[in-house]
Amino acid sequence: MFRYCLLPGLALGLVANACANDPIPPTPGALRAQPAAFEASWTPVKLPTGDRMALAGFSYLVAMNEDWGVGPSVYGAARGKMGGLFTMGMTGQRRWRVGQHGHVAASLFAGAGGGVGSEQVRFGGGLMLRPELSYRVEFGSWYTGLALAHTRFPSGNVRGSSLSLVVGVTDGFFSFSPTDEGRRAAPYRRTGLGIDEVLPTVGSYRPRHSSIGRDGLPTRAAIGKAGASLRQYITEGSWWGVEGAGASTGGNDGYMELLFSAGQDWALSAPKLRAGWHAGIGLGGGGNLDTGNGWIVKTGPTLRWISPWGPSLHLEAGLMGAPSGSFKSTYTRVAIGLPLDSTARRDEVFTPTSGTVRSQALFFSYQHQPGLRMRDGRQEDIGHLQMLLTQELSEHAYATVRAGSAAWGSVGGYSVGLIGAGLQTSPVMKGRLNFGGGLLLGAAGGGSVAVSGGAAAQSELWAQWRFGEQKRTRLRMAVGQWRSLRGDTQSTSTFDLSLGYAFGAVSR
């Protein structure tokens, strides 16, 4: 039901918006079109205390064949008093056509996370499962419907079934084969995940005098945060994107935020120096910060300098707050923008921009950390579920982003977000095996794990096996060391097993 090309007005499953009348099997060097879809959902959940909350969910699904789609998903508390509850993982979905303008979908989400719990509300180790059966009605490229969803933390006591609202829009996922890496190409559309720029960020919140913590006491201390933003530019000065960050200093480890953002800037006296504004809305919470139901908003001025070498420097400031909570703050942020995609611009006609094909890969990862120390002094082995995104910068260099949460153990709500880079070998054994290593920095916290302010680092050495169609499937094993960076530091070894899907995207 996930067709590459359909008659106008007919949507069977996920639709690629632009493709030929007859699908042509991809060949080396050819741009491959896979149907894809963005989905959002709203799921009410009744807590063991009788209180009610709701989870807002967001998924990006790519068709693996005519029947199945798979992709990353994130769920966050958006109603009630559980601001800061997040889970992230993978969703698999099967669709069946029902009539001309409808389809049935069966989905299963598996991920990890949690939030501020108590003796009455427990997330256990953090593993979350969410099966769903839904019927959707299609309106052109959009669809909406109702679903019967069951939300369950198997090792905790948060579980329940409810009707859920689903809204989605179809899209296309365009990529080259990862075996085309290093070749020049000039596509007429964005490739891969469509990310024009990735921005590692550091910043701080300075709570206003009216801010009260979850413990009922005033929140005064500055809060450092570290994270990353992913942007897509509509024009040189207009952009939209996704940004995430976690607390790294200030005693609020466990705070996490995820926002959709947009902005506009204009050239000043020098064309590469630009000033403007940005705004964001999303979900956040954790630590001792009272964000109410979880919704947060932010806005403020920006300054951007585009260097002659490609990277850019971003300075931002402004106000942020939780409309239903007491947390209100000013903020500042600094970011380094690293250009990725070679974007096709649209003026009167589409103008392709030449670039080099580089491999990107999205992994679903299990990570084991033995003997992690808790705040009460005990030690525990922890199992994580994480998302891992890698971007090859050259034949021997790569950048990576890692984010996830504990799923096994007793620290549901412990999350980590890291960004870094590394070096790798050229593939051997007919291009199937390569090795590498890198260093990642970021934030971690929550779930009673002793990480002080939240700043953390991880080093890793890995081996990767490439197989399947055009070597798109990746199996990766890694060993490394994780360390907290502030206060009473601790470290532990790590073992990772990751399964991923690779694709070629055009980079500058």
Blockwise average pLDDT, block size 10, the chain, 508 residues: 36 35 46 93 94 95 92 95 91 94 96 84 93 96 97 93 96 91 83 89 92 86 92 90 90 87 92 94 91 95 92 96 94 92 46 79 97 90 95 92 93 89 95 96 88 88 94 96 88 97 88
Check residue 160 and give its pLDDT: 93
Q: Which amino acid is at 440?
A: L
* CATH no., domain 196-339: 2.40.160.20
Where in the chain are the domains? 32-175, 196-339, 355-507
Task: Give me the pLDDT at residue 465, please.
Answer: 97
Element (H, E) at 10: none
Positive or negative, the CA dihedral 36, 38, 44, 46 is positive
CATH of 355-507, one of 3.30.590.10, 3.50.50.60, 2.40.160.20, 3.40.50.300: 2.40.160.20
> 179 — phi, psi (to 5°)?
-75, -10
State residue 351's pLDDT score. 55
Task: Provide the pLDDT for residue 108.
Answer: 98
Domain 196-339 in the same topology as domain 32-175: yes
pLDDT reported for residue 24:
38
Question: What pLDDT does residue 101 have?
Answer: 92
- pLDDT at position 271 is 81
Q: Which two tokens stand for residue 398?
A: 């790569």
Q: Which residue has the tokens 């180790």?
A: 125
What DSSP assignment string belongs to 313-339?
Answer: EEEEEEEEE-TTSS-EEEEEEEEEEEE
- In 250-396, where do the E strands start and end? 256-267, 273-285, 295-306, 312-321, 328-339, 345-346, 350-351, 355-373, 379-394
Q: What is the pLDDT of residue 352?
A: 58
Angle of CA points 129, 134, 139, to nearest 5°: 130
Q: Compute how many other C-beta atoms are within 10 angstroms of the C-beta atom of residue 31.
A: 17
Cα dist from 504 to 30, 70, 181, 395, whole Å: 11, 18, 7, 13
Surface-to-core class of residue 237, CB atoms within 10 Å of its CB (0-12 exposed, 13-18 middle, 19+ buried): middle
Instruction: Give, in order, the Cα–Cα distances in Å from 388 to each of 29, 177, 364.
Output: 26, 20, 6
- Which CATH code of 2.40.160.20, 1.10.357.10, 3.40.50.1820, 3.40.50.2300 fits the domain covering 32-175? 2.40.160.20
Question: Rounded distance, CA 335 to CA 228, Å?
Answer: 8
